[in-house]
Amino acid sequence: MIFFPGKFFLLVGPSGVGKGTVIQGLKNVFSSRNDVFFPITATTRDPRPMEKDGVDYLFFTPEVFLAKLEKNEFLEYAIVHQKHYYGLPKDQVFTALTAGKKVIRELDIQGLWNIQKVLPAENIVSIFLYPESLEILKKRISSRSPVSEEELERRLQTARNEIRQKEECTYQVCSREGQKEFVIAEVQKIIEDHF
């Protein structure tokens, strides 16, 4: 494994716990810093209104994505809802880490394990975001978009399994309901302690 001068901060946690909200808050906090980098995920899904290619996501056709996958160009990837591919291009991350930057990214526990196979432990700082309770997580998932009872139960079971493994991450942060700014500040402090 190649050791890089930069650090890779991975925000891990179950669906609906608020990873995207924290990432957006961190983007606002670190927007003026040249030494912090947020990689752009590639996906095969269609852009939503207002999403821009190369800004929000890298939008690839399934053929292009699979060709890149074949060439081992992704650090990690997943198939979401059994139809769309999502992946993290290696070149973005390796270029930023080689330049000594702090790279910040959200992903699930499976993605963390995949990245741990590729990068040395010294380059990775993992932060697990967990809910106050599964009941609160259930409300968050339900309020985001309509999901069937079966899908909701499947997501909660996945969340239970992920939460059991939170101690495998370097840090654990509780995503408290109604305390978004506090949670963002807590994650920000962890990152800044590594500057």
Q: Is residue 23 part of a domain?
A: yes
Q: Is residue 133 part of a domain?
A: yes
pLDDT digits (tens, 9 = 90+) for 66-116: 999 999 999 999 887 678 899 999 999 999 999 999 999 998 888 899 899
pLDDT digits (tens, 9 = 90+) for 119-137: 999 999 999 999 999 999 9
Residues 163 and 158: their CA atoms lie apart, in Å, by 9
- 42-43 and 102-107 as β-strands: parallel, antiparallel, unpaired? unpaired
Residue with tokens 């880490």: 97
Q: Is residue 106 part of a domain?
A: yes
- Indicate left, alpha or beta for 13 from its phi (over 0: left) and psi (-120 to 50: alpha): left
Does 174 score more than 70 pLDDT? yes
Q: Is residue 50 part of a domain?
A: yes
Which pLDDT value is given to residue 81?
66
CATH code for the domain of 30: 3.40.50.300
pTM (2 decimals)? 0.90
φ/ψ of 100, rounded to 5, equals 80, 15
> What residues make up the domain containing 170?
7-192
Instruction: Indicate the number of domains in the chain.
Output: 1
